[in-house]
Copies of this chain bind each other. A is one copy, B any other.
Amino acid sequence: MQQAGRRKKQHTMADVARAAGVSKSTVSRAFTQPEMLGTETVERIAAIAKTLGYVPNHTARALSTGRHGNLALIVTDVANPFFPPLIRAAQMEADGSDFCVFLGNSDENPRQEDKLVDRFVSQVEGLILVGSRLGAERIQHHAGRRPLVLINREVTGIPRVLIDSTTGVRQAIAHLAALGHRHIVYVSGPSSSWANRQRRNALRLAARQHGIEVDVLSARVPSYESGRAVVAELIESRATAAVAFDDLIAQGIMTGMAERGIPIPEAFSLVGCDDVLGAATYPSLTTVSNRSDEAGRAGVTLLLDRLSGRMAGDTRVVLDTHLVVRQTTAAPASGQRRQGG
């Protein structure tokens, strides 16, 4: 019946108990509440467990305590460079509290996301949803089953971590204004994205305050290709600078400009968002930091606090952002701009 037989012979608590001449309970307590037992008993059991190579069974423990020491992290797209730092930070933070993390990739698909939650929910103590595409009522529902934390998604009553691009975008506009730009373009990302709405609004507001004219162009999806595709329109707009929804789009724009012989930043200034490329473009990209790693860390902390009952109610952590000035912004060419050939 059981194949590959010899591998499975893990020792159980009963084995240790027998070998030590005590009961299961004592062995159990030797591991979980040693202060409750006689010192030498604990030591003896520990020694025997070690020789036997006994390791407590996580699953059994989880079943009786309801505490798995696991949490689920569900993201929309692992391959989007925004996420890896977040995932990494979350994983390490969890690890520091002896938690294991389940990773789910919803592929931007709400149904898939729902399915993942269902699959995970019974083996984790809590969930973190990053940029969830789920409707508010589904999120509420899931939150009713397990402690739930959101990152970059706003649902009242659910603890959440928000990366506030507003501050960074405002700085970007101030920066462009100071350089002398009067007409810029916002290259927008997915309309269903909370971050996109936030950035667009912040940008419009700040631009108005600085007396800068704003056009909005839409890159259908946040990718290098769509950034490159939007360049023609960008040039047509006769703006002198652009702020892109994210760095990927910005990178595409850089290529598109380079292909047309339009030098950045001399003839056109460009600001990205998210700072996922580090300085790894040439010229290096001026961008708004995203602090996604901190968001990941904060998400885990929030969840863990929640689990230990240290925190209740409607927590809302906001991480502000700031502009990282690198080399893609400069004063606009005086009066005229080059025509693409």
Interface set of A (CB-CB < 8 Å, partner B):
1, 3-4, 6-8, 10, 55-60, 62-63, 66, 68, 70, 77-81, 83-85, 87-88, 91-92, 95, 98, 100-105, 107, 116, 118-123, 143-147, 157, 224, 248, 251-252, 254-255, 258-259, 278-282, 284, 309, 312
CB-contact partner of A122 in B56, B107, B248, B282, under 8 A: B56
Interface of chain A, main secondary structure: mixed
Closest Cβ of chain B to A265, distance in Å, is: 14
Which B-chain residue is minimally distant from A306 (CB atoms)? B4
Closest Cβ of chain B to A84, distance in Å, is: 4
Copy count, this protein chain: 2
Contacts of A224 in B (CB 8 A): 278-280
Closest Cβ of chain B to A80, distance in Å, is: 8
| Cross-chain contact B66 with A63 (CB below 8 angstroms) | no
- The docked-state distance in angstroms from the alpha carbon of A119 to that of B56 is 9
The 9 closest A-B pairs by CB, nearest first: A103-B103, A58-B122, A79-B84, A3-B309, A224-B280, A255-B282, A58-B123, A78-B88, A258-B282
- The docked-state distance in angstroms from the alpha carbon of A77 to that of B84 is 9
- CB contact under 8 A between A103 and B105, given known A59-B123, A63-B59, A68-B59: no
Contacts of A248 in B (CB 8 A): 280
Which B-chain residue is minimally distant from A258 (CB atoms)? B282
| Cross-chain contact B312 with A4 (CB below 8 angstroms) | yes
| Cross-chain contact B91 with A85 (CB below 8 angstroms) | no
Q: Apart from A57-B63, A70-B102, A101-B103, what 8 extra A-B contacts exist at CB < 8 Å?
A: A3-B143, A87-B105, A91-B104, A92-B105, A92-B107, A95-B116, A100-B102, A102-B102
